[in-house]
């Protein structure tokens, strides 16, 4: 987690690559994309930026997460920003809200199994009461 703001004007991205390095030289990288910002752009007001540890591909990159030596920040384009209050925090993502709620299905083993209700049988559903085709 860190707080960031532009020295002047607006920036539509934060050109920083975060690198974790362990004592054996293993490294893992994460990019600070806009999805980690409180607002969609960096302006002259302080805002919180949270980059989850899960964004580092630790296993694939071969980093020993139990033996981390340093966190490096690499600036990758021109621009002037202030960084403050850089720290590691416990991160728990917001619960995802389902966009499609599924109806619960009926239990196929529940008894009794009713294929057709009384209304179907009593309202000439089978054509047994009146048969217009043969009259």
Sheet hosting strand 27-31, strand order edge to edge: 27-31, 16-22, 68-75
Q: DSSP 3-state assignment of 21?
A: strand
pLDDT at 132 (0 to 100): 66
Angstrom CA distances, 45 to 5, 28, 71, stand at 6, 30, 25
Tens-digit pLDDT string for the chain (135 aa): 899 999 999 988 888 899 999 999 999 999 888 888 888 889 999 999 998 888 898 888 989 988 999 999 998 888 888 999 998 887 777 788 888 888 888 787 877 767 766 766 677 666 666 666 665
């Amino acid at each position: 987690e860190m707080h960031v703001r532009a020295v002047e004007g607006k920036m539509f991205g934060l050109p920083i690559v975060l690198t974790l390095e362990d004592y054996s030289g293993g490294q893992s990288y994460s990019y600070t994309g806009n999805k980690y910002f409180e607002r969609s752009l960096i302006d002259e007001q302080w805002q919180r930026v949270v980059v989850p540890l899960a964004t580092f591909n630790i296993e694939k990159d071969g980093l020993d997460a139990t033996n981390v030596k340093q966190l490096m920040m690499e600036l990758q384009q021109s621009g002037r920003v202030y960084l403050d209050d850089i720290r590691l925090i416990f991160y728990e993502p917001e619960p995802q809200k389902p966009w499609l709620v599924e109806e619960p299905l009926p239990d196929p083993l529940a008894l009794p199994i009713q294929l057709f209700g009384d209304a179907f049988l009593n309202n000439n559903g089978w054509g047994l009461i009146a048969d217009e085709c043969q009259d």
